[in-house]
Amino acid sequence: MTDPAAAFDEPLEDEEIVEDDEAGGPGADEGHDASSRPWRGPSPARWALFAGLAVLVVVFDQLTKAWVASELAPGSGMVVIDGLLNVVHGQNSGMLFGLLPQSAPAFAVVSIVVTGFIVVYHWKAGRGIVATVALALLLGGAIGNLLDRLNHGYVVDWVDMGIGSARFWTYNIADACISTAIVLLIAMALVPRIAEWGADG
C-alpha cells in the first residue's frame, strides 16, 4: 500500500527543483544567451590585437619616414609611376594633409591627449572587431605623427599621388591609417550593427 505521506512529498520535491532553477540555482544559467551578460571590457586577446596593430602601424610609419629622410633632401622627390605616384620628402608643420601649418607644438599636445582618449574609448566601447581595428589604426597613426612632432617639430609626408597635375594632399602611413579609422568609425555610427561584428564575448 502506498504511504499517503510519500504521495504528498513527491510534488513538493518537483516544486523545489523548479524554484531552484528560477532563483538561479543549478542549471539556471544554461539557457541564458551569453550576449545577455554584461560586457566587462576587452579580453586579453582583444587588447593584444589592439596593441599589436597599433605598434605595427607605428613601426611601419617610422621606417618609411626614416627611409625617405635618408634618401631624399627636403623638397625633392622621385617618380614611382609617371603621372600617378611619386615619393617626395615633405615637412608638414601642421595637421593631417598639411592643414593649419606652423602648429606642430599645439598638435603634439593634442596628440598626447588623443592617444589617452583612444585607449580609454577602446576599454569602454571596443567590443566589436571593427571597433578594435579602427581604434588601433587611429592610435598607431596618432603616435606615429606625434613622434615626428616631438623629434623634428614637423611631420614627414612622402606619398604624392594623383592624376597628372591634379594631386592629392601629400601624406604618410600614419595619415592613411587615421583616415581609414575615421571612415570605419563613421560607418559604425551610421550602421550600428557593424560595431558588433566579431563581438568580444
Tens digits of pLDDT across the chain (201 residues): 555 555 545 555 554 544 544 555 555 444 445 455 677 889 999 999 999 999 999 999 999 999 999 999 999 999 999 999 999 999 987 655 555 555 556 667 777 888 999 999 999 988 899 999 999 999 999 999 999 988 988 899 999 999 988 988 899 999 999 999 999 999 999 999 999 899 886
In terms of domains, do 155 and 181 share one? yes
Chain-centre distance for alpha carbon 146: 17
In terms of domains, do 28 and 75 share one? no
Domain total of the chain: 2
Whether 157 maps to a domain, the answer reads: yes
Which domain covers residue 8, as residue numbers? 1-32
Alpha helix stretches (DSSP H) within 23-163:
44-71, 104-125, 129-152
In terms of domains, do 49 and 148 share one? yes
Strands 77-81 and 85-92: antiparallel
In terms of domains, do 154 and 99 share one? yes
Helix (H/G/I), strand (E/B), else coil: 163? strand
Active site members: 157, 175
In terms of domains, do 63 and 95 share one? yes
In terms of domains, do 63 and 115 share one? yes
- Phi, then psi, of 69 in degrees rounded to 5: -65, -30
Whether 153 maps to a domain, the answer reads: yes
Q: What pTM, to 2 d.p., does this model score? A: 0.76
In terms of domains, do 99 and 179 share one? yes
In terms of domains, do 10 and 84 share one? no
